[in-house]
């Protein structure tokens, strides 16, 4: 058997490691989706304590959550097996975040009034932890003035309202009321827990993905960038309290929650969006793979395959990263190279006006485009190079943010 060059196993970076999340589940038809959310929170490293309302138990049982979280599940204030039996605010005090998903219209009304006639109500009232609420209900219920007023009140009190999304509802109606996607709720929980982090009050712009330069209306020139490194950077900065703008060239990845996403396609689109977003920013990390060359002309019609072949003339694109400036802006460049990445990155630091360049040799196993891991070397303006081990891209993202932080003004 040939050795396919499998990279050494690296530990997955768990963004919620060491965090306690209380997951409240209420009596909505969407309660089954809470099982997926519980699983995703556990996979992100959190310790998850589930609290079910009486109505939630009509839809889904304790055993599902106990098996997914490996923790006792609370169903009542008077439940002898719950930590709440000894101390009814135990969960409230241990929580780093309370998330209610799905949240019924009834529970929203109870939260707005501050009722504590069940385990979930008591937990919410007694906690200092951030509260994330994901409403789920029929579109007519959702648009009811009472529900809207309750949501406005909760928002005013600093509660994070996740979704709801639009689409087909269990009632058969098409409209607003679908519970937010579990992965996005996890993103909002991560953001809520990190809101006092070391990037709090900072504006961070991340570029990601591979630009597409049109040849004609149906074809383009692009590259293999998946966007994974840039998306990981956007999530890491969000998780540390930053206000993040992600300028994304086409990528198959889901947009991270709690991040402003500007979707672009071409080099020119990327340039305009990055220039605009960076003016008031503290940090720009250019993780996007931007086409160095573009077709000299874009055909207005699809090019026919009449001739024996096709010769395209390409022109070199201007390097506009030096032009991106702002009163406080600190810039970090990326250099994806095949061979001698560090040498090439050294030349790039000053030419880009960056404080350091993140070099990665995309030809190395486990590194570069499409992989979940990366091995990078950080080359600073003095030419010093720090090689980091092969790591999960989220861990690489945090390492980059650690090193950028001291430069911020």
Ligand X SMILES: Cc1cc2nc3c(=O)[nH]c(=O)nc-3n(C[C@H](O)[C@H](O)[C@H](O)COP(=O)(O)O)c2cc1C
Give the residue from 289, 283, 162 showing the smallest Cα distance to 234: 283
CA distance 188 to 179: 14
- Does residue 76 bind ligand X (CB under 6 A)? no
Q: Which of 20, 150, 223, 374 is catalytic?
A: 223
Whether 3 is catalytic is no
Q: Helix (H, G, I), strand (E, B), or coil: what is residue 221?
A: strand
Helices (H), 127-266: 139-143, 145-156, 182-193, 228-239
**Nearer of residues 178 and 398 to ligand X, judged by Cβ:** 178
Shortest gap between Cβ of 110 and ligand X (angstroms)? 7
Rounded to the nearest angstrom, the gap between the alpha carbon of residue 347 and the centroid of all alpha carbons in its chain is: 32
Shortest gap between Cβ of 257 and ligand X (angstroms)? 21
Q: Which of 20, 47, 64, 104 touches ligand X (CB under 6 A)? A: 104
Q: Which of 46, 48, 137, 264 touches ligand X (CB under 6 A)? A: 137
- Does residue 225 bind ligand X (CB under 6 A)? no
Cα 189-182-87 angle, rounded to 5 deg:
55
Give the residue from 208, 335, 381 showing the smallest Cα distance to 284: 208
CB 377 within 8 A of CB 359: yes
Shortest gap between Cβ of 58 and ligand X (angstroms)? 7
- Does residue 368 bind ligand X (CB under 6 A)? no
Shortest gap between Cβ of 66 and ligand X (angstroms)? 19
> Which region, judged by CB under 6 A, interacts with ligand X, from 22-30, 84-92, 321-329, 341-349?
22-30
Place of tokens 């994304």: 248
DSSP 8-state code for residue 85? G
For 61, residues 6+ apart whose C-beta sits below 8 A from its C-beta are none
Q: Which of 41, 42, 51, 105 touches ligand X (CB under 6 A)? A: 105
Which residues lie across from 294 on neighbouring strands? 315
CA distance 257 to 133: 14
- Does residue 150 bind ligand X (CB under 6 A)? no
- Does residue 57 bind ligand X (CB under 6 A)? no
Shortest gap between Cβ of 151 and ligand X (angstroms)? 12
Helices (H), 279-388: 341-352
Q: Which of 10, 106, 222, 223 touches ligand X (CB under 6 A)? A: 106
Q: Which of 13, 23, 28, 390 touches ligand X (CB under 6 A)? A: 28
Residues that bind ligand X (CB under 6 A): 26-30, 53, 55-56, 104-107, 136-137, 141
Task: Tell me which residues are annotated as active site.
Answer: 223
């Amino acid at each position: 058997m040939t050795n396919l060059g499998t990279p050494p196993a690296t530990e997955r970076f768990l963004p919620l490691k060491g965090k306690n999340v209380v997951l409240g589940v209420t009596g909505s038809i969407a309660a089954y989706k809470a099982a997926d959310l519980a699983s995703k929170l556990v996979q992100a490293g959190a310790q998850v304590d589930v609290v079910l309302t009486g109505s939630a138990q009509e839809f889904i049982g304790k055993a599902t959550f106990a098996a997914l979280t490996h923790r006792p599940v609370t169903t009542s204030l008077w439940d002898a097996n719950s930590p709440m039996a000894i101390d009814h605010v135990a969960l409230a005090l241990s929580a780093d975040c309370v998330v209610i998903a799905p949240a019924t219209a009834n529970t929203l009304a109870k939260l707005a009034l501050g009722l504590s006639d069940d385990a979930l109500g008591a937990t919410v009232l007694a906690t200092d932890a951030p509260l994330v609420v994901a409403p789920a209900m029929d579109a007519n219920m959702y648009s009811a003035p009472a529900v809207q007023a309750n949501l406005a009140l909760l928002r005013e009190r600093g509660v994070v309202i996740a979704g709801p999304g639009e689409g087909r509802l269990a009632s058969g109606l098409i409209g607003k009321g679908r519970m937010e996607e579990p992965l996005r709720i996890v993103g909002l929980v991560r953001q809520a827990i990190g809101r006092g982090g070391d990037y709090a009050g900072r504006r961070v712009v991340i570029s990601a993905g591979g630009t597409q330069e049109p040849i004609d209306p149906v074809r383009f020139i692009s590259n293999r960038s998946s966007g994974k490194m840039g998306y990981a950077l956007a999530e890491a900065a969000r998780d540390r309290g930053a206000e993040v703008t992600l300028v994304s060239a086409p990528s198959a990845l889901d947009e991270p929650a709690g991040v402003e996403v500007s979707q672009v396609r071409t080099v020119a689109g990327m340039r305009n969006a990055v220039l605009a977003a960076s003016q008031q920013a503290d940090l720009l990390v250019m993780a996007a793979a931007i086409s160095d060359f573009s077709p000299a002309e874009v055909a207005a019609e699809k090019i026919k395959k009449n001739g024996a072949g096709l010769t395209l003339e390409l022109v070199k694109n201007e390097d506009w990263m030096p032009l991106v400036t702002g009163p406080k802006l600190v810039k970090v460049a990326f250099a994806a190279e095949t061979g001698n990445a560090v040498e090439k990155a050294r030349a790039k630091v000053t030419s880009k006006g960056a404080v350091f360049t993140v070099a990665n040799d995309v030809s190395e196993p486990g590194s570069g485009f499409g992989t979940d891991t990366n091995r990078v070397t950080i080359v600073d303006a003095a030419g010093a190079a720090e090689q980091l081990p092969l790591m999960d891209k989220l861990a690489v993202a945090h390492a980059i943010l650690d090193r950028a932080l001291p430069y911020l003004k």
